[in-house]
Amino acid sequence: MNYDHANHKYNSKLTSLNGTSNGSDSKKLRVEEAPPSRVLHIRKLPNEASETEVIALGLPFGKVTNILTLKGKNQAFLEMGTEEAAITMVNYYTTVTPHVRNVPVFIQYSTHKELKTDAGNQRTQAVLQAVSAVQSGGSPSSDVQEALAAASSPVLRIIIDNMFYPVTLDVLQQIFSKFGTVMKIITFTKNNQFQALLQFSDPVNAQQAKLALDGQNIYNSCCTLRIDFSKLVNLNVKYNNDKSRDYTRPELPAGDGQPTLDPSVAAAFSKDSNSLLGKIPGALNPLSAAAAAAAAAGRVALAGQSGSSGVLLVSNLNEEVSNLRTWVYGDVQRVKILYNKKDSALIQMSDANQAQLAMSHLNGQKMYGKIIRVTLSKHQTVALPRDGLDDQGLTKDFTNSPLHRFKKPGSKNFQNIFPPSATLHLSNIPQDVTEDDLRLLFSNAGGTVKAFKFFQDHKMALLQMSTVEEAIQALIDLHNYNMGGNQHLRVSFSKSTI
């Protein structure tokens, strides 16, 4: 039968076979269970979803042998090579909601045992052939590559959105090496966003990595991968350190002021780019059962941080600074100014990941005229003073503060975490507050307001101070500022400029 006829035939059977006549507007989230089958029924796909994006859902679990998309019903059928692969896929997506174009989709076993579609749809067949060739270790033919609009570059440009947790060069290597040999990586920050250039040994590997990983989250609800092909065809790496690495040349120097690469690690990388795969808890590696468990658990520990402290030691503070709970990189639980060293404090965050994030963004920043030092403390918690003991107000407990930014899982605040910058994002602005009011408020905090811009609804605005230091000081002083009527101003760093 031809493709259109197959479409019509499967459409007409949907109501009786899969319990719903329209996957896009059905409010019934719980799907009726069918016995395991290598054919999977995918519902609630966004209108613009492509076949390649649907195939990408199944890629990590095994060979994809066929696909049928039902555009008018926002549904698709995906046939896996084996029933075992389909079961693994369903089990994984039972704990981790799959997304296509940031829209949650629903996957269940189909009552079909196989898909019978005509091979006349050349584009679909080209995609399937390319996937099959790569998964079996070969290379797709030239006409298949053309059908996929193959890029000639083996280099990918990667941007990390919503970077709530730090992403390292090693994390990227673990994730992308699943799709081929990673030869070189260069990381950098541009426009206040963490970015990377990553070179595969073969452009086909770059294609498959982009197909499978673009739009995916490294950690639950955050650290979203945005992937494009780079115009570069080869990366020139001069140093092997935390910022750049050439896995084909482990003998490269570390460079001035950069941590050197451990020789044993360098040797491991040079022998086998996959040798460390899966060693980073929570890294996006859908074939790993550990990754599924970590993703299902929500927030996960970073490499080297498992079981580590959520307490920071902050030193070289201006002794007049008292509002240390207003930190933009996590929820501060407790603060203790050290009795014999009042320019230092212990700050307990909600977890070790928030502590790591705060340390990576704030260590070395200038605050109230002094460059602060932020390190992980050996303490696991900040102890409260014993009952009846007066510690002169040096210890504060903010555990039950109603003003925490990140206490709600999946909060949109996770999506707006950026390094310190001179531009601040203001929100929760009362309707009767004017630009002049806000300019005066921030000028009085110390510093000069260089630029200001209201958003269209006047509930949010961008405000630019003359320096990053002034912006940090303004954020500390004015986040949660009561604007009247118990309406508290929200202040965070912005990646934008005015």
Could you read off the pLDDT of 137-182 as tens digits, one per residue? 454 444 444 434 333 578 999 999 887 777 888 889 888 988 888 9
pLDDT at position 38 over 90: yes
- Residues in the chain, how many? 498
pLDDT-based confidence at 18, cuts 50/70/90? Answer: very low
Q: How confident is the model at residue 298 (pLDDT cuts 50, 70, 90)?
A: very low
For residues 356-372, give the mean pLDDT.
80
Q: Is the pLDDT assigned to residue 56 strictly greater than 90? A: no
pLDDT bucket at 41, cuts 50 / 70 / 90: very high
Q: What is the pLDDT at residue 377?
A: 86
437 bridge partner residues? none
User: Residue 43: pLDDT band by 50, 70, 90 thresholds?
Assistant: very high
**Percent of the chain residues topping a pLDDT of 70:** 71
How confident is the model over 87-118, as pLDDT tens digits? 888 887 877 788 887 788 999 999 999 988 66
Is the domain 418-493 a CATH 3.20.20.70 member?
no
Mean pLDDT of all residues in 253-262: 58
Query: Which pLDDT value is given to residue 366?
Result: 84
* In CATH, 311-397 is 3.40.50.300: no
Q: What is the CATH number of domain 39-130?
A: 3.30.70.330
Instruction: Write down the domain spans for the chain.
Output: 39-130, 149-246, 311-397, 418-493
| Highest mean pLDDT (candidates 106-115, 116-125, 285-294) | 106-115
Mean pLDDT of 128-143: 54
* pLDDT tens digits for range 468-491: 999 998 998 898 899 988 888 999
The pTM of the full predicted model, rounded to 2 decimals, is 0.42
pLDDT at 273: 33
CATH number of the domain located at residue range(s) 149-246 in this protein: 3.30.70.330
**Does 267 score more than 60 pLDDT?**
no
Same fold, 311-397 and 418-493: yes
Examine the pLDDT at 14 and tell me if it is beyond 70.
no
Would you state the pLDDT for residue 283? 37
> Is residue 415 very low, low, confident or very high in pLDDT (cuts 50, 70, 90)?
low
pLDDT tens digits, 439-470? 999 999 888 999 999 998 899 999 999 999 99
Range 46-60 average pLDDT: 81
Does the structure show a pLDDT above 60 at 275? no
Q: What is the pLDDT of residue 432?
A: 92
Q: Is it the case that residue 288 has pLDDT exceeding 80?
A: no
Read off the pLDDT of each residue in 390-395 and give the average, rounded to a whole number: 79
